[in-house]
Amino acid sequence: MLNTQLKRLAWYKCLFIFILFVFNTACKMPVETVAPLTVESPSGNNILVFFTNEEGEVGYTVAHSGKVVIDSSYLSFDFKDMDAIKSGLEVSNSSSKSVTETWEMPWGEQRKVKNNFNELTVDLKEQEGLERKLTVIFRVYDDGLGFRYHFPNQPNMKEVIITDENTQFNLTGDHKVWWIPGDWDIYEHLYNETKFSEIDAISKRNHPNLAQTYIPENAVNTPVTMKTDDGLYLSFHEANLTDYSGMTLKVNTETLGMESELVGSEITGYKVKRNTPFSTPWRTIQIADKAGDLIESRLIVNLNEPNKLGDVSWFKPTKYVGIWWEMHLGKSTWDMASGKHGATTENAKAFIDFAAANNIGAVLVEGWNTGWEHWIGFEDREGVFDFVTPYEDYDLKEVVRYGKEKGVEIIMHHETSAAPRTYEQQLDTAYKLMENLGMHAVKTGYVGKIIPKGEYHHGQWMVNHYRKVLETAAKHKVAVNAHEPIKPTGIRRTLPNAISREGLRGQEFNAWSVEGGNPPSHLPTVAFTRMLAGPIDYTPGIFNIKLNPWKENSQVNTTLAQQLALYVVIYGPVQMAADLPENYEGNAAFQFIRDVGVDWEESKVLNGEVGDYVTIARRERNTHKWFIGSITDENPRELTVDLSFLDNGQSYTATIYADAADAHWDDNPTAYEITSKTVTSKDKLDLKLAPGGGAAISLVPVAR
């Protein structure tokens, strides 16, 4: 068996190198002058070849199961006040190693994560001139690969000012792509599904609902997911974005190529400034034969460094309710001057009572601190918010005390209004206050254009700000759920107080978007794109789908049953039950939200297609309960779920929250049925999802 496998691998490898050679010749590209270096994944399904051409340019190609999936793609850098590193390079040394390890997530989609890769390190040196050195490190996994650049300390390269990183990802066909524009300021766009050759990010420039957006060219943000004509799935992203700019990918719709386009700064005019030695983030490509395997892949966290915080058990994954949706509906306001202030002591206590009665561990209170009269629409936002002074109708200490009495935590809220310097000045004081009060989680926000003007949310300066916030928070035992954040790149492995974030078009758009909210295909797309990067604070659980009487022209574009399924499908260690408590009272479907777990021993994707549907099963930590969530786009679907993952010989009570036969996201969204039956691992469940619908199932072991 092993022999056959080895023979097959050797054959694939020969074929791949042959194709590479022919491709280079056919395209009249300079043929390699040195033997290519190869590294393959542990099972051999992915092979990466590193090559140098006659000009001393360097690049790589990738094959999966014997077929090229990334064509010859070159690597180079442009700098300020220094020649590009692009050609005249030679390999001065190379080495390989293999790693197999298992590490534990303190909270997460699964407890144990296997990290198994083969690594190739290539040391490059300019043959002439400054003789600068650059190293490229490749890690090849069964679920994809990552590579990063390392700039060693050297006499002729001390300070490095990068004006462009030119990392290419050349595709082998006009794949189907799920993309959002390469916006330097915000990720809150709807996904587009087009052929690669039809990507047109520029047409998305004028967005009516975004307080900040900047799309300089035809580029996409990451993760960007693709499907080839052969049915293979690829997703491009980055891991361990540290002291560097976020990467967007510029698309060339004619050559079907992508190239890294780092987020810049109008203040400095460059993209990144570092001193040697330093390493860049990993550039990642997830490769999967099934769409669901993309979701099960842990490549992004695996490419990050181990936990630096040690024990973070002061943070407990939790469901939460909050003084939040009522502001988005217009029932109350963040500010006090309106006379409809939401964050009053009385209202917060009512939320605490509701949480305590319903197995919900926390309450978020927005609009508790002074400054909101001067929020949206104001250019001058520096110094407006402070993060210690409550409005006079909100007794912070008393609310926290009352919460503790009832076993409910209060989640702090810091809206920075994109004035990070004001926030940085107060970080220590603000977190000290939280520490003194025994508050362990904060939701942050960065609405508006960054002050100083000319910096963007996703540039190096802000990447460093978001990191400083996480590090300072950690010192005070505070976990951060950031809105308008930098995208997740797996930092949660290193700093597990990075619990969740927005960084996508969230539920809030359903309350006020002028474009009709998030269409039913949104979340079946998010699951295979944004969610590959890390946990999401989507804020599910809206039962009053039509938003009556608050919003005549807005609604949620899913069924109620889908809102339940989102607790399982969309992963996050903090999950909001976002609706007004009065919309839950007396509704039998609320039992699922009471019951559903938030922290998982393991997760399995049972089926799915990008943008169409997905079904995920997750086993709760420390219990033997399983939960299943299934969601579909605007098309109804009949899906059969095989329960063979359940413990053998164990019976479970399955409670199924399903769309009623005549349910429909628009015509009849709240029609659902709850049924119950006993099942074992030998059973299969037939699910019928309505258009825009879903199903949520809890599976509780029957005591023996």
Residue 415 binds: one of Ca ion, ligand NOJ, none (C-beta under 5 to 8 A by kind): ligand NOJ
Residue 493 binds: one of ligand NOJ, Ca ion, none (C-beta under 5 to 8 A by kind): none
Which residue of 142, 395, 502, 601 would you call a contact of ligand NOJ, by CB under 6 A?
502
Strands 224-227 and 176-179, bridge-based pairing: antiparallel
Q: Give residue 121's region: left, alpha or beta (phi > 0; psi -120 to 50).
A: beta
Q: Residue 76: which H helix or E strand, with range? A: strand 67-79
Alpha-carbon distance of 231 to 289, in angstroms, equals 7
CB burial of 570-581 (b: ≥16 within 10 Å; e: otherwise) equals bbbbbbbbbbbb
Longest alpha-carbon distance in the chain = 77
Nearer to Ca ion by Cβ, of 208 and 649: the residue is 208
Residue 414 binds: one of Ca ion, ligand NOJ, none (C-beta under 5 to 8 A by kind): none
| CA angle in degrees (0–180, nearest 5) for 504-508-514 | 95
Q: Provide the β-strand partners of residue 48.
A: 39, 62
Alpha-carbon distance of 191 to 530, in angstroms, equals 10
Residue 445 binds: one of ligand NOJ, Ca ion, none (C-beta under 5 to 8 A by kind): ligand NOJ
Nearer to Ca ion by Cβ, of 271 and 483: the residue is 483
Four-residue CA torsion sign, 321, 584, 346, 556: positive
Q: How far is the CB of 447 from ligand NOJ (least distance, A)?
A: 5
Binding-residue total with Ca ion (CB under 5 A): 1
Nearer to Ca ion by Cβ, of 188 and 238: the residue is 188
What does the DSSP assignment read for 568-629?
HHS--SEEE--S-HHHHTT-TTHHHHHH--SSEEEEEEEEEETTTEEEEEEEETTS--EEEE
Stretch 151-170 residues interacting with Ca ion (CB under 5 A):
none
87 burial level (CB within 10 Å; 0-12, 13-18, 19+): middle
Alpha-carbon distance of 254 to 405, in angstroms, equals 63
Stretch 64-93 residues interacting with ligand NOJ (CB under 6 A):
none
Stretch 504-543 residues interacting with ligand NOJ (CB under 6 A):
508
Q: What are φ and ψ of residue 270, in 5° steps?
A: -120, 180
Stretch 360-379 residues interacting with ligand NOJ (CB under 6 A):
366
Q: How far is the CB of 508 from ligand NOJ (least distance, A)?
A: 5
Q: Residue 4: which H helix or E strand, with range? A: helix 2-26
Stretch 187-246 residues interacting with Ca ion (CB under 5 A):
none
Q: How far is the CB of 79 from ligand NOJ (least distance, A)?
A: 37
Nearer to ligand NOJ by Cβ, of 483 and 530: the residue is 483
Task: Report the chain's terminal Cα–Cα distance, integer Å.
Answer: 42
Q: How far is the CB of 504 from Ca ion (least distance, A)?
A: 9
| CA angle in degrees (0–180, nearest 5) for 694-700-702 | 145
Residue 366 binds: one of Ca ion, ligand NOJ, none (C-beta under 5 to 8 A by kind): ligand NOJ
Q: How far is the CB of 384 from Ca ion (least distance, A)?
A: 19
Nearer to ligand NOJ by Cβ, of 190 and 561: the residue is 190
Residue 403 binds: one of ligand NOJ, Ca ion, none (C-beta under 5 to 8 A by kind): none
Nearer to Ca ion by Cβ, of 189 and 440: the residue is 189
Strands 409-415 and 441-445, bridge-based pairing: parallel
Alpha-carbon distance of 234 to 286, in angstroms, equals 5
**How does DSSP classify residue 333?**
B
**Residues 475-514: x where in contact with Ca ion by CB under 5 A, - otherwise, as a string:** --------x-------------------------------
Stretch 435-454 residues interacting with ligand NOJ (CB under 6 A):
445, 447
Nearer to ligand NOJ by Cβ, of 539 and 558: the residue is 539
Strands 652-659 and 694-701, bridge-based pairing: antiparallel
Alpha-carbon distance of 587 to 563, in angstroms, equals 14
Q: How far is the CB of 317 from Ca ion (least distance, A)?
A: 22
Q: Is 508 a catalytic residue?
A: yes
**Residues 472-491: x where in contact with ligand NOJ by CB under 6 A, - otherwise, as a string:** -----------x--------
Residue 189 binds: one of Ca ion, ligand NOJ, none (C-beta under 5 to 8 A by kind): none
- Catalytic position from the list 508, 515, 582, 638: 508
28 burial level (CB within 10 Å; 0-12, 13-18, 19+): exposed
Omega before 277 cis (within 30°)? yes
Integer angstrom CA distances of residue 266 from 77, 80, 185, 263, 574: 20, 15, 13, 10, 36
Residue 223 binds: one of Ca ion, ligand NOJ, none (C-beta under 5 to 8 A by kind): none
Strands 272-275 and 600-609, bridge-based pairing: unpaired
Q: How far is the CB of 481 from Ca ion (least distance, A)?
A: 12
Residue among 381, 457, 368 nearest 419 (CA) = 381
Q: How far is the CB of 327 from Ca ion (least distance, A)?
A: 13
Residue 492 binds: one of Ca ion, ligand NOJ, none (C-beta under 5 to 8 A by kind): none
Nearer to ligand NOJ by Cβ, of 143 and 415: the residue is 415
Stretch 405-424 residues interacting with ligand NOJ (CB under 6 A):
415
Contact present, 418 and 381 (Cβ < 8 Å): yes
Q: How far is the CB of 445 from Ca ion (least distance, A)?
A: 7
Alpha-carbon distance of 688 to 670, in angstroms, equals 15
Nearer to Ca ion by Cβ, of 483 and 492: the residue is 483
Stretch 285-344 residues interacting with ligand NOJ (CB under 6 A):
324
Contact present, 607 and 295 (Cβ < 8 Å): no
Q: How far is the CB of 416 from ligand NOJ (least distance, A)?
A: 9
Nearer to ligand NOJ by Cβ, of 259 and 508: the residue is 508
Nearer to ligand NOJ by Cβ, of 106 and 342: the residue is 342
**Residues 147-176: x where in contact with ligand NOJ by CB under 6 A, - otherwise, as a string:** ------------------------------
Q: Does 211 bind ligand NOJ (CB under 6 A)?
A: no
Residue 211 binds: one of ligand NOJ, Ca ion, none (C-beta under 5 to 8 A by kind): none
Residue 361 has a CB neighbour count (10 Å cut-off) of 19
Q: How far is the CB of 333 from ligand NOJ (least distance, A)?
A: 11
Nearer to Ca ion by Cβ, of 514 and 702: the residue is 514
Residue 633 binds: one of ligand NOJ, Ca ion, none (C-beta under 5 to 8 A by kind): none
Q: Strands, DSSP E only, in 80-172?
A: 89-104, 112-126, 133-141, 144-151, 159-170
Q: Residue 22: which H helix or E strand, with range? A: helix 2-26
Binding-residue total with ligand NOJ (CB under 6 A): 8
Contact present, 626 and 618 (Cβ < 8 Å): yes
Q: How far is the CB of 255 from Ca ion (least distance, A)?
A: 35
Q: Among all residues, which ones are annotated catalytic?
A: 508
Q: Using CB under 6 A as the criterion, which residues of the chain lie in contact with ligand NOJ when the complex forms?
A: 324, 366, 415, 445, 447, 483, 502, 508
Q: Using CB under 5 A as the criterion, which residues of the chain lie in contact with Ca ion when the complex forms?
A: 483
